[in-house]
Amino acid sequence: MNSLSINDFHTMPNDFPDLDVYAVVGNPIAHSKSPVIHQRFAEQAKQKMHYGRIQAELGDFAKVAKSFFAAGGMGLNITIPFKLDAQAFAEVLTPRAQLAGAVNTLYRQNSQIFGDNTDGAGLVRDLLAQGLQLRGARILLLGAGGAARGAMGPLLEQSPKQLIIANRSSAKANDLAQLFGGLAKTNGVELASSTLNELEDPKKGHTPFELVINATAAGLSGESPLSAQAADNIFIPSSFAYEMVYGKSTAFMQQALQRGARVSDGLGMLVEQAADAFLIWRGAKLNLMIDPRSVLAKLRHSCD
């Protein structure tokens, strides 16, 4: 660990003078699948680049990112807990980063550091790839934190019939609904908020949904944000339950399966948001050369 309190997993640009260097920054970070994903994209698109991991200590993100770019680094992905730090570090925010309220992708352009957010776009691309019809659908989004906020813009741009934000705290759900009210109106979406407890009451008018997305952190702790009664009201066999956590079958996914619904974890979202970042860094023209779904299939096979 150097003076900046960095655990560098073979990443600093001066170690790779003949390659364009990228990395993912988080804490912890050793488990990250991002290097494998980006290496496969690089192989598919025949790009000379290196992608590694950096574990920054809390409070050190800005110093780490500044050091990385000063040494010639080309771009960074950012994961928990530094997405707000990355937003503060960026000199220019893209419109979707402004909407998301967080940054997961940094890159240098015209001597400035730009911040973008590819999470919501990755979610939508994964849902569409799995055959979901989002236009005209009724969507329930569980949670009103950063993950939910990052998903809101891209979901609304798909013009679902209705999007309900359900959260433990009604205030946070109401704030999110108000923040995105204009975009919802532009896209003809009925946007509303609810508490998780209200999902238990059929008199509240919460009929089954085509798509239910868990954007809460409950999946990390082995819990579900939904009670059994709420799950009974929400899921039917034609429902699709999407868990942003990946790599395990969560309590939320089990609730949906028990009621005959289809389920998915968030591994496809991880791959698709990475594809978006890769194309930002290396050029949109490479989109025909990379195949995120084949990368996802290999990842799933290696996890079996």
Tens digit of pLDDT for each residue in 113-157?
Answer: 999 999 999 999 999 999 999 999 999 999 999 899 999 999 999
- Say how many CA atoms lie within 13 Å of 173 toward its Cβ: 22
Q: Looking at the annotation, which residues are catalytic?
A: 83
Query: Given pLDDT bands bounded at 50, 70 and 90, which one contains residue 304?
Result: low
Which numeric CATH code is attached to 6-117+268-303?
A: 3.40.50.10860
Report the SS3 class of residue 278.
helix
DSSP 217: S
Fold classified for 121-265: Rossmann fold (3.40.50)
d(CA 299, CA 302): 5
The pTM score is 0.93
Average pLDDT in the 22-34 region?
A: 93
Q: Do domains 6-117+268-303 and 121-265 have the same CATH topology?
A: yes
Q: Which element (helix H / strand E) includes 281?
A: helix 267-282
The full set of domain ranges for the chain reads 6-117+268-303, 121-265
Query: Which one is predicted more confidently, 207 or 249?
Result: 249
Query: Which one is predicted more confidently, 9 or 277?
Result: 277
Asked if 78 and 24 count as a contact pair (C-beta separation under 8 A), the reply is yes
Percent of the chain with pLDDT over 70: 95
Q: Which element (helix H / strand E) includes 21?
A: strand 20-26
Does the CA dihedral 121-213-163-104 come out positive or negative? negative
